[in-house]
């Protein structure tokens, strides 16, 4: 294996990690601040991709499509928070799981009703098609590089928001003591709505960015949602830093395991068995890492003790 | 409990009852919601179109949500409380493996409009089980044959890590005369192929064969084209079907794929099917719709020749349907001794026709093709 291929795969892992980060950042904030387990987070991923595909189909402009993938999920997030989620904050986790699971079914079937059962089309603009030559003769996809850059900017933006703004202080205070910030006279329901909408918008953006290189279809959010939950368990629930580190860990681990495990097993056993065992183990790698982290740090890497 | 009440509710919504005599009751278990529902909806619609003029068929339909446990529950309910005579509709091989053995052992017929796992064609074949579509390996065998005749010498092959994925690559290798550069099994449902495409680019392969049904294939073709890897791509029809092409876009142009059906196969039955389907549902039919349609027509033909009350006579009527009035949309069609189709498998190319992407027949890949497992089946 050449060094170029290795670095290309490392970049692929990092790109996958940033995607997971966009999903898990919202999930971890919503859980950290409101104590809500939101299974419907994957639906916002799907809504983002469908809104982008719809707007791209109407206007032919990818950048407007990306904008739509932030705005529509945020608006729907606000509506859902107002009408349903708000009633769930005081309920126990089982009720939340039940209600947000119902939301998944409602969103999926509503989307199917509006757009039909077949996948939609969304492609990246011509200017981002193809590859770019990075230093060291590394050929890498322009679009995936852009995803990494967007992910970096959003991570920086969230860091700034949490640590340098009033909203960030309120979010942190909300994570520490919900009762207290209410007593201090902060409009807690407005804060909750903002956090929920922000999470929905980030998930929507992830959906649109990924939808352009995968398929825009009903139910596309749920597999990502499962990994996003793994990420926030590894990173520590409520921690943005944990979500970032966890997402990058999972992204790189998953990609590298897919690449190296079959090669590794080929050294010690027959090829067809090695391929099968290697790829099975690779698809388990994220969960194995989660189990390991839970054994040694039950609250996750950056979770509160 | 919750899941059960949801599925009962959906079942209730989808139950279509025809108020005619109770001659033949057909249980349609297929995927009608969530991921992959496009396939199930096409099978259901194709089937309904085929039997719409037959007042003695009653269809009870249920949504399996692509989950084996729900499919099993539906089958139990249909057999025990609805007393169906025939079950059909399942799209996915893993669901078929969970449902079919139980159905046929309880003395009901199962007619498969899609899934054809090798086990059900070979060791676990059953006299009450008929497959109207194909045995899982078939389209891949034709693809292997095509790749050899196109002069490819070294293929990179890729499929998901589950039984149908292994059947697929086995089928390809059975008819491909060149060597295999690399064989990759991905996670079922994986949609990011950056790592695999990088491997392909770094390899010495001269062609790529992939079996990645549904959204997986859409993702793969788009990413493969975006990565500008300059290698010919070959796949089975599943990733180039009418419903999928829209989502893949121009990335699919020129790709060769193998299918037992195509909307431009010339025969009267197919012409009528394509026209009727378009006027009934306002969209072009897919190969799944054609399979659902053929399944319905076989039942109609068997009903004309035997009563469902006499299982042995009805089984013979199903088996002999191709010579007793049933005309397949694919043209030539008969059953092998293990109740799977003997048919031609064609090579198609994705072309643009009046601004719409569609498939054009370019050659017949395998003629009068049966399946590899005939000898393993002891009925």
Task: Give residue-wise pLDDT tens across range B328-373.
Answer: 999 999 999 999 999 999 999 999 988 889 999 999 889 999 999 9
Is A303 within a domain? no
Domains of chain B: 2-134+266-335 (3.40.50.2300), 138-259+344-376 (3.40.50.2300)
Q: Which CATH number fits the domain that encloses residue A288?
A: 1.10.3470
- CB-nearest to A123 from B187, B196, B249 is B249
pLDDT digits (tens, 9 = 90+) for A13-49: 999 999 999 999 999 999 888 889 999 999 999 999 9
pLDDT digits (tens, 9 = 90+) for B243-291: 888 888 888 999 999 999 999 999 999 999 999 999 999 988 999 999 9
Closest CA to A141 of A286, A14, A279: A14
Residues B89 and B61: beta-carbon distance below 8 Å = yes
CB-CB under 8 Å, A219 with B223 = no
* Interchain CB contact of B107 with A (< 8 Å): no
Residues B128 and B101: beta-carbon distance below 8 Å = no
CA B277 to chain A, closest CA, distance in angstroms equals: 17
Residues B132 and B111: beta-carbon distance below 8 Å = yes
Backbone dihedral region for residue B294 (phi beyond 0: left; psi -120 to 50: alpha; all else: beta)? alpha
Q: What share of chain B is helix, strand, coil (3-state, %, to 5)?
A: 45, 20, 35
CA B106 to chain A, closest CA, distance in angstroms equals: 33
Residue of A nearest to B192 (CA): A214
Closest CA to B142 of B234, B208, B245: B234
Measure the CA–CA gap between B175 and A75, rounded to whole angstroms.
54
Rounded average pLDDT per 10-residue block, chain A, 305 residues: 85 94 93 90 96 94 95 96 92 93 94 86 88 87 94 94 90 82 84 93 96 89 92 91 94 91 86 81 91 93 79
Q: Is residue B16 predicted with pLDDT exceeding 70?
A: no
Closest CA to A247 of A260, A261, A222, A230: A230
Measure the CA–CA gap between B62 and B42, rounded to whole angstroms.
14
CA A189 to chain B, closest CA, distance in angstroms equals: 31
- Residues spanned by the domain of A11: 3-296
Name the packing angle between helices A221-235 and A188-211 (round to 10°): 120
Which residues on chain B are in Cβ contact (under 8 Å) with A119? Answer: 38, 215, 218, 243-244, 246-247
CB-CB under 8 Å, B184 with A213 = no
CB-CB under 8 Å, A213 with B247 = no
ipTM rounded to 2 decimals? 0.82
CA B182 to chain A, closest CA, distance in angstroms equals: 10
* Number of neighbouring beta carbons within 10 Å of residue A73: 31
CB-CB under 8 Å, B186 with A255 = no
* Interchain CB contact of B189 with A (< 8 Å): yes
**Dihedral sign for Cα atoms in the order A30, A32, A33, A35:** positive
Residues B257 and B221: beta-carbon distance below 8 Å = no
CB-CB under 8 Å, B161 with A279 = yes
Closest CA to B260 of B131, B162, B173: B131
Residue range B182-190: average pLDDT?
A: 87
* Interchain CB contact of B41 with A (< 8 Å): yes
pTM of the predicted model as reported, rounded to 2 decimal places? 0.83
Residues B270 and B360: beta-carbon distance below 8 Å = no
Number of domains into which chain A is organized: 1
- Cα–Cα distances (Å) from B220 to A104, A164, A177, B52, B93, in that order, read 26, 42, 46, 38, 21
CB-CB under 8 Å, B198 with A214 = no
SS (H, E, C) A214-274: CCECCCCHHHHHHHHHHHHHHHCCCCHHHHHHHHHHHHHHHHHHHHHHHHHHHHHCCHHHH
* Interchain CB contact of B194 with A (< 8 Å): yes
By CB atoms closer than 10 A (0-12, 13-18, 19+), residue B238 is buried
Residue of B nearest to A221 (CA): B35
Is A91 within a domain? yes
Q: Which uninterrupted H or E stretch holds B348?
A: strand B341-353
Is A60 within a domain? yes
Is A135 within a domain? yes
- For residue A133, which phi and psi values (nearest 5 degrees)? -95, 110
Scan for tokens 């997986």, then name that residue.
B216
Measure the CA–CA gap between B340 and B119, rounded to whole angstroms.
12
Measure the CA–CA gap between B248 and A216, rounded to whole angstroms.
10
């Amino acid at each position: 294996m050449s060094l170029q291929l290795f670095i290309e795969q490392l970049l692929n892992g990092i790109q996958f990690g940033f995607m997971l980060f966009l999903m898990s950042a919202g999930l971890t904030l919503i859980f950290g601040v409101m104590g809500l387990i939101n299974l419907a987070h994957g639906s916002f991923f799907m809504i983002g991709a469908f809104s982008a595909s719809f707007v791209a189909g109407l206007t032919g402009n990818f950048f407007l499509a990306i904008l739509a993938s932030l705005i529509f999920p945020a608006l729907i997030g606000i509506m859902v928070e107002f009408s349903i989620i708000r009633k769930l904050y005081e309920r126990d986790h089982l009720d939340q799981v039940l209600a947000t699971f119902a939301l998944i079914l409602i969103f999926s079937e509503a989307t199917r009703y509006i757009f039909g059962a077949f996948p939609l089309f969304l492609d990246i603009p011509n200017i981002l098609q193809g590859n770019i030559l990075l230093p060291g003769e590394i050929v890498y996809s322009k679009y995936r590089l852009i995803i990494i850059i967007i992910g970096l900017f959003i991570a920086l933006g969230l860091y700034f928001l949490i640590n340098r703004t009033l909203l960030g202080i309120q979010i942190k205070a909300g994570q520490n003591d919900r009762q207290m910030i209410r007593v201090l006279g902060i409009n807690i329901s407005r804060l909750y709505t903002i956090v929920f909408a922000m999470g929905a918008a980030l998930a929507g953006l992830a959906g649109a960015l990924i939808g352009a290189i995968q398929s825009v279809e009903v139910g596309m959010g749920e597999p990502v949602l499962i990994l996003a939950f793994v990420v926030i368990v590894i990173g520590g629930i409520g921690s943005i830093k944990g979500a970032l580190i966890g997402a990058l860990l999972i992204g790189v681990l998953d990609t590298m395991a897919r690449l190296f495990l079959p090669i590794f097993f080929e050294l010690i056993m027959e090829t067809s068995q090695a391929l099968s065992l290697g790829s099975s183990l690779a698809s388990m790698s994220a969960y194995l890492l989660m189990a390991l982290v839970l054994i040694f740090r039950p609250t996750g890497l950056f979770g509160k003790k | 409990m919750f899941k059960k009440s949801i599925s009962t509710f959906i079942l209730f919504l989808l139950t279509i009852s025809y108020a005619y005599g109770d001659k033949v009751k057909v249980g349609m278990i297929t995927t009608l919601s969530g991921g992959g529902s496009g396939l199930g909806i096409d099978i259901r619609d194709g089937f309904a179109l085929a039997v719409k003029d037959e007042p003695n068929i009653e269809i009870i339909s249920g949504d399996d949500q692509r989950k084996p446990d729900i499919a099993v529950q539906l089958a139990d309910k249909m057999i025990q409380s609805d007393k169906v005579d025939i079950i059909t509709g399942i799209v996915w091989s893993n669901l078929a493996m969970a449902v079919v053995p139980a159905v046929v052992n309880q003395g009901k017929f199962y007619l498969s409009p899609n899934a054809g796992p090798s086990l059900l064609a070979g060791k676990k074949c059953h006299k009450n089980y008929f497959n109207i579509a194909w045995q899982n390996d078939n389209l891949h065998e034709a693809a292997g044959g095509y790749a050899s005749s196109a002069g490819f010498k070294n293929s990179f092959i890729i499929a998901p890590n589950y039984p149908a994925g292994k059947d697929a690559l086995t089928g390809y290798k059975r008819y491909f005369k060149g060597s295999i550069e690399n064989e990759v099994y991905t996670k079922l449902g994986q949609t990011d192929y950056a790592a695999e495409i990088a491997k392909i680019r770094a390899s010495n392969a001269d062609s790529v064969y992939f079996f990645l049904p549904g959204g997986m294939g859409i993702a793969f073709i788009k990413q493969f084209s975006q990565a500008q890897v300059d290698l010919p791509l070959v796949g089975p029809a599943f990733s180039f079907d009418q419903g999928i092409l829209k989502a893949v876009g121009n990335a699919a142009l020129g790709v060769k794929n193998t299918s037992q059906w195509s909307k431009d196969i010339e025969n009267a039955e197919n012409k009528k099917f394509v026209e009727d389907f378009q006027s009934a549902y306002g969209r072009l039919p897919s190969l799944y719709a054609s399979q659902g349609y053929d399944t319905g027509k076989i039942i109609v033909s068997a009903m004309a020749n035997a009563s469902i009350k006499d299982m042995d006579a009805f089984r013979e009527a199903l088996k002999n349907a191709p010579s007793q009035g049933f005309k397949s949309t694919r043209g030539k069609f008969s059953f092998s001794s293990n109740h799977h189709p003997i048919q031609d498998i064609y090579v198609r190319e994705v072309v643009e026709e009046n601004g719409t992407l569609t498939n054009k027949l370019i050659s017949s890949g395998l003629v009068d093709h049966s399946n590899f497992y005939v000898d393993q089946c002891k009925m």
